Structure 1
C-alpha cells in the first residue's frame, strides 16, 4: 500500500513539474495571460480606461493607467485588446528607446527567437514564440520609442483577415486599436 502511494505521489509530482515546465514560456505581460485572462478584470476606472472597441477582435480596447506599479523601466503606454469572449487577445506595450536592450534581453531569455531583422534597419523587427501566442518588437532606427506586442494564439491571423477583407480601414480604426505591425511601415512611432 505504501509503495502504491509513493508511486502515485511521484507520478503526480512529475505531472505537475512537466506542466510547470510546459507553461514556463506562456506570455502573460502585466499579469494578464493571453487567451485566458478575462477582460472584465480590467473594469476599475481608477486603474484602466476604456479606449474604444477592437472590431477585429470583437471586444473592448482598454488602456491601463498607473504603469509605475508594473516596475517595467521605460514603459510609457499599455493597451489591451479583448476578443468577443472577453479574453485578452493582444497587449501592446510602448517603451522609451532607452529600455530597448534590456527588454530585448529579457524576451530572448524567456521565449524562443523566431526572426530578427538587422537592428540598424530603417524599421527593425523581432519575433519570439510563446506557448500561448507570439511576441513582436518593432522600432524605427531613429525612433524615440519601441513597441512590444503580445498576440494570443490566432489573434494575429484574425487581425490580418479583418484588415485584408475590407473590414477595417485606417479611417475606421482608432489609433489605440492599431496593432504595432502596422506601425512597422512608419518611420516614427505614433505620438502618445
Structure 2
C-alpha cells in the first residue's frame, strides 16, 4: 500500500514539475520580441529582401547593414499601421524594426504591448513628447509620440542595438525611423506572411 501511495505522490510531483516547466517556457517565448514575425537579433534580413513589396531604403550605417521598407502592410492585420522600416546589422540579422501608426491605434497598441512585455516605463500623459518602454528577452521596445501628433512610432531594438545607434550618432536625438529614410529605392521582396502579426 505504501508503495502505491509513494508512486502516486511521485507521479503528482512529476506532473507538477512538467507543468511548471511548460509554463516557464511559454513565458520565455512570450517575451521574445518578433514584430511582424521578424525575431530581433535572429531573423536573417535575406529572408525579407525578396518580393515586390519590400524595397531597400538605403543603409542603416549605425547597424552595419541595409534598411528595408516593407510596403504591403494590410497583410499584418495591425489597425492604423502606416509604415515599417527594418534595420539590419553587419551579420544580416534584424537589429531594429520601427512601426509607424495612426494616432487612432494608440490605446490598442499600448494595451497589446502591456500584455505581452514587461513594462519598464509608462507614458506620462502630460508630457509634450510621450515615451514608454517595455523589456523583452532579446531587446527592448519603446513608443514615442508628440502630444498633438497624428502618428506615433513603436521601435523594437535588438540587444545592444540602441547603444550602437546612439554611439554612432554621438548622442544626437534624431529618430531611428528618420535615419532609415535614405534615397536608394532598389526593389526587393519577401515571402508572404501567412499569420496576422502580433506586436
Is 1:135 the counterpart of 2:141? The answer is yes
Q: How big is each residue's C-alpha offset from its partner over 1:64-115, in whole Å with a ceiling of 9 and x where there is no partner?
A: 0110000000000000000000000000000000000000111111111111
Q: Contact conserved, 1:63 with 1:78, CA < 8 A, in 2?
A: yes
Is 1:68 the counterpart of 2:74? The answer is yes
Larger Rg: 2
Q: 1:17 to 1:76 in 2, by over 3 A?
A: same
TM-score (norm. length: structure 2): 0.76
The corresponding residue for 1:28 is 34
CA distance in 1, matches of 2:37, 2:123: 28
- Which residue of 62, 70, 83 corresponds with 1:56? 62
- Which residue of 69, 76, 92 corresponds with 2:98? 92
Superposition CA RMSD, Å: 2.6
- Structure 1, unmatched stretches of 5+, are 179-192
Provide the aligned length of Structure 1 versus Structure 2: 169
Structure of higher RCO (CA pairs closer than 8 Å, 6+ residues apart): 2
TM-score (norm. length: structure 1): 0.79
Is 1:158 the counterpart of 2:164? The answer is yes
The corresponding residue for 2:121 is 115
- Structure 2, unmatched stretches of 5+, are 1-6, 182-199
Is 1:177 the counterpart of 2:177? The answer is no
Q: Contact conserved, 2:98 with 2:177, CA < 8 A, in 1?
A: no
Of 149-158 and 15-24, deviating more is 15-24
Q: Contact conserved, 1:51 with 1:176, CA < 8 A, in 2?
A: no
The corresponding residue for 1:103 is 109
- Which residue of 16, 19, 22 corresponds with 2:25? 19
